[in-house]
Amino acid sequence: MLKQLRPAIVSTLAFTLLLGLVFPAVITVISKAAFSDQANGSLIEKDGKVVGSHLIGQSFTKPIYFHSRPSAAGSGYDGGASSGSNLGPTSDKLINGIADDSKTKDSDESFAGIKQLAAAYREENGLAANAPLPADAVTKSASGLDPEISPENAALQAPRVAKARKMPLEAVKQLVAQNTASRTFGVLGEARVNVLNLNLALDAAK
């Protein structure tokens, strides 16, 4: 019986070594040599400190910064809990949200629905109560970690940022344009603005 099992055992050990150790090690070496930035997470440094990644969204709340798309990842922008809300388009919770249950003091069940997000967005950006908004301003993405917003979203936030920074609006709009990427290969996806890159450009423009 051992003679019959030996090929299976040897094959298992060989493929475990090959696919579990050798292959990942080779790919890691190649990726770090050819794509060092991407292999290390596309990290962004400022003054010698890592402030984020080109690929991972993060929360910005100060009026001097452009704000990211809303997130449902964990408590918000949690890289270890990437997820959308998983709510259907007709969900009352998605549209109207829910308040926290005061009986459960150890947990927060509150959920900001589209109506609350829209009202807050309009208020912080000085927009009319019925002003139309781009979808990414009030909806959470499937990953909860989108690093980019639409140019339309950025355009609505630009006056607030310019006012908070005491910068000319045209200067802010120019930075938005400089940090706007067009469709990939001209056909894939949509134009988008990387929020972290834009906010760092604003800080550098002081």
The sign of the CA dihedral 125, 194, 113, 135 is positive
Mean pLDDT value across the chain: 85
pLDDT in tens, 7-24: 888 889 888 988 888 888
Domain for residue 48, yes or no?
Answer: yes
Cα dihedral 90, 141, 28, 54 in deg (nearest 10): 180
Domain for residue 125, yes or no?
Answer: yes
Domain for residue 183, yes or no?
Answer: yes
DSSP 83-134: ------TT-HHHHH-B---TT-TT----B--HHHHHHHHHHHTT--TT----
Pairing of strands 148-149, 192-194: antiparallel
**Own/partner pairs, 188-191, CB within 8 angstroms, 24+ separation:** 190/150, 191/150, 191/151
CA distance 23 to 15: 10
Termini Cα distance of the chain: 77
Domain for residue 33, yes or no?
Answer: no
Q: What is the pLDDT of residue 40?
A: 61
Domain for residue 38, yes or no?
Answer: no
- How many domains does the chain fold into? 1
Domain for residue 103, yes or no?
Answer: yes
Token pair belonging to 190: 């949509």
pLDDT in tens, 56-104: 889 999 999 999 999 888 777 877 778 777 777 878 878 877 765 555 5
Q: Mean pLDDT highest for which of 36-50, 101-115, 158-172?
A: 158-172
Domain for residue 173, yes or no?
Answer: yes
Domain containing 64: what range? 43-204
pLDDT in tens, 156-187: 999 999 999 999 999 999 999 999 999 888 88
Beta-strand ranges (E) seen in 127-197 are 148-149, 180-181, 192-194
The sign of the CA dihedral 116, 117, 122, 125 is positive
Domain for residue 168, yes or no?
Answer: yes
Cα dihedral 113, 119, 123, 129 in deg (nearest 10): 160
Q: What is the pLDDT of residue 191?
A: 93
Q: Which residue has the tokens 């980019």?
A: 148
